[in-house]
Structure 1
Amino acid sequence: MTDILVLGAGYTGIAAAIRAAVRTRRHGGRVTLVNASPRFTERLRLHQTAAGERLADHSIDEVIAGTGIECVLGLVTRLDPVRREVTVGERVLGYDKLIYALGSVTDMSVPGVAEHAYDYDDHDQAVRLASRLRGLDKGLDEGPDKARDKGTVVVAGGGLTGVESAAELAEAHPGLRVVLLTRGRPGAMMGAKARAHLDRALRRLGVEVRDGAVVTKVLPDAVELAGGERIPSDATLWTAGTRGLPLPEQAGLTVDSRGRVVVDSALRSVSHPDVYAVGDAAAVSQPFGVMHGTCQGGVPTGLHAADALAAELRGRTPRAFRFGYVHQPVSLGRRDAVIQFTHPDDTPRRWYLAGRWAVRYKETVSSSPMPSYRLLKRGLVPVALFRLSAAFK
């Protein structure tokens, strides 16, 4: 038997685990999936959870049922690539091959973020933010002074996650003031027409955009900017950057400046080839540069790593991973969206979608992956699981 250990049960980790179980079953593969929580979290939709929407709840056992994969619940505290061991709680798990899919976490290098800001590192954080916003709404309804200031929500970070969150929260809580802080212009990676639609949507929803804003400190009731200005905040959501967990670097794996595992063309660690790294946890080089973390690129890396591992077990040379981006889909509340189509290097093409057709497109590409996982269990690789991502092999 070949013991294959998959760390992390997000979109990428589950896709890798199911694919590895299917592809290695006849060659002695035995797959174990490790995750801290029994719940499968749809991170693409955490901004909806934060806005108070109730989404379908899926357990990991439900997702992997029928695959033969063993699920071990617990926090990974140590990785030893020399002994080929992983410590999970009080258990020590050995492996022959490992797929590292623990993703990334919020970059909390700015003072006060860890103590005073909400983030999307797990589902519970989004639920707590939703509860806080409901409390602010209730306070507005019951407040004796109707002329008093609105409650303020600050979203720090003008990337796609920050834009989606600001729009979603503003639409769901029209009585609250929503401020989006960003160093550059929101949607800066888009073409001019798509960016103009995004700007109009944020204005329509009442989102106050502060570009050129550099946050230096998060306080319990405010956000401090470079220059000393303070913006009062009843709830601060931090979406300004991510980095890899410290686990790989502590284990001696080669990582980049953001803590991501540096991999070769087959997605194996350049320092420890028995370890594959995928998704946000990996620094994957392509002709256009290092990929940035998205589900669009993450799931294909998970599928490719499983295929490469299966090829190794059969004594074959794994193929090089090839990938190109196709789109930048952004929801702007539940009734609006904009889709910027891109070249493989993620630079914008002329084409874009906006409005109701963009909403339909966005809901299709970010819909629940459960139907796709069911097909994957049967040995199929549905296009939907690639998120229309133009992964090339």
Structure 2
Amino acid sequence: MTDILVLGAGYTGVVAAIRTAVRTRRTGGRVRLVNASPRFTERLRLHQTAAGQRLADFPLEDVVAGTGIEFVQGRVAGLDVERRQARLEDGRVLGYDKLIYALGTVTDASVPGVAEHAFVYDDYAGTVRLAERLAALTSGTVVVAGGGLTGVESVTEIAEAHPHLHVVLLTRGRPGSMMGERARAHLDAALERLGVEVRTGADITKVLPEGVELAGGELVHSDATLWTTGTRGLPLAAGSGLTVDAHGRIVVDSALRSVSHPDVYAVGDAAAVSQPYGVLHGTCQGGIPTGLHAADSLAATLRGRTPKAFRFGYVHQPISLGRKDAVIQFTRPDDSPRRWYLKGRAAITYKETVSSSPIPTFRLLKRGLVPVWVFALSAGLG
């Protein structure tokens, strides 16, 4: 019997656990999945939760039912990679032979006041608190910090759902700067249509209870501030002695094993995965293939085989612009923009298809099948 522990039950953790259970069933694998919450959180849709929309609830015990996976509810408080043990906040200690680390990242709160005064997307409960705050405002200003994909999706969703509020997007660069010119033009038009005030070149130096302070001392009033400017790996990884990069992500080899502790596999946002064009940035697009590949690498190792090298190429940058608009920028494998893009109703259909409920994908994995789109994403640069 090989004890396999999966820490974290987001998109990558769940697919890694299910795939591992299927691939190690005949070699005596025992898989336990640990998560602080009993429900599966669709992180791709937290901006909808923030705007007050109710999403489907998926209990994790139901998600993994029929796989043989043991679900353990608890928050991981410590990790001893030498003794191969994970310690939970309630004192329970879980041993393992192989570990898949899928705890993701948390908001980078290095700017003073973020931890105390800003709303973040670190968990479902915090997002619900933001939704409750927005619902309670009959007037006022909402500030969203960060012009990346998360910031743009959030600011448009909030502006559409709460047209009586003044919504401000503060960003150092142009919103959606990674997209092509035509896709960015559509994005800009959507922000203008929704009445979002966009302030570029904004360098926030402090978050205050009722606003933010910019470099130079200017104060921007805010009745609710959402922080989306960047993430970091949990201190847990570095504190355990695992080799991490400058952002706290676990550095892995081509099989997605920790370079310092090969019995630990890291996936999704928690892993620093190198490809010929650079290190993957945290998206579900790349996260699910890493979860599947880590499971296959682990299974191959248990059979005495050499794992294959992970290869991945980006396909698109899908952005919802509220419930009535969207823009899709198609990309080269290195995530640079191609000429092609979609907008409007066609983009809405595309976005809802690629970011729909993951439950059908989980069901396919339980049957030992891998969705076709995963092969496309893992096609690499060939």
Equivalent position SS for 1:362: helix
- 1:182 and 2:171 are equivalent in the alignment: yes
Distance 2:248 2:378 in 1: 26
- Hey, what's the Cα distance between the residues in 2 that align with 1:34 and 1:387? 27
Mapping of residues 1-393 of structure 1, within 5 Å:
1-89=1-89, 90-137=91-138, 140=139, 151-384=140-373, 386=374, 389-392=377-380
C-alpha contact 1:366 1:387 (8 A) present in aligned 2: no
> Is the CA contact (8 Å cut-off) linking 1:183 and 1:213 kept in structure 2?
yes
TM-score by length of 2: 0.98
Q: Distance in 2 between matches of 1:86 and 1:55?
A: 32
The Cα shift of 1:88 comes to 1.3
In structure 1, distance between residues paired with 2:168 and 2:175: 12
Distance 1:49 1:323 in 2: 30
Distance in 1, matches of 2:81 and 2:240, equals 7
SS in 2 for 1:37: coil
Q: How many residues align?
A: 380
1:303 partner SS = helix
Runs of 4+ aligned residues of structure 1 deviating over 2 Å after TM superposition are: 386-393
The root-mean-square deviation of aligned C-alpha atoms, in Å, is: 1.1
Give me the whole-angstrom Cα distance separating, in 2, the residues matched to 1:211 and 1:351. Answer: 26
Q: CA 1:32/1:391 → structure 2, altered by over 3 Å: closer, same or farther? A: farther
Q: How many angstroms apart in 2 are the aligned matches of 1:155 and 1:251?
A: 34
Deviations 1:83-122 (CA, angstroms, capped at 9, x unpaired): 1111012111110000000000000000100111001000
Q: Distance in 1 between matches of 2:152 and 2:116?
A: 23
**Is the partner of 1:224 in helix, strand or coil?**
strand
C-alpha contact (below 8 Å) 1:4/1:31 kept by paired residues: yes
C-alpha change, 1:57 and 1:391, in structure 2 (3 Å) is: farther
Q: Unaligned regions of 5+ residues in structure 1, if any?
A: 141-150
In structure 1, what is the Cα distance between the partners aligned to 2:211 and 2:42? Answer: 30
TM-score, length-scaled by structure 1: 0.95
Partner of 1:147: none
Conserved 8 A contact 1:256-1:262 = yes
Q: Deviations over 1:22-75 (max 9, x none)?
A: 000000100000001101100000000000000001110010000010011111
Residue 391 (structure 1) shift: 4.3
Q: CA deviation at 1:389?
A: 2.7
Aligned equivalents of 2:377, 2:166: Cα separation in 1 = 36
> Structure 1 CA distance, aligned partners of 2:328 and 2:213?
33
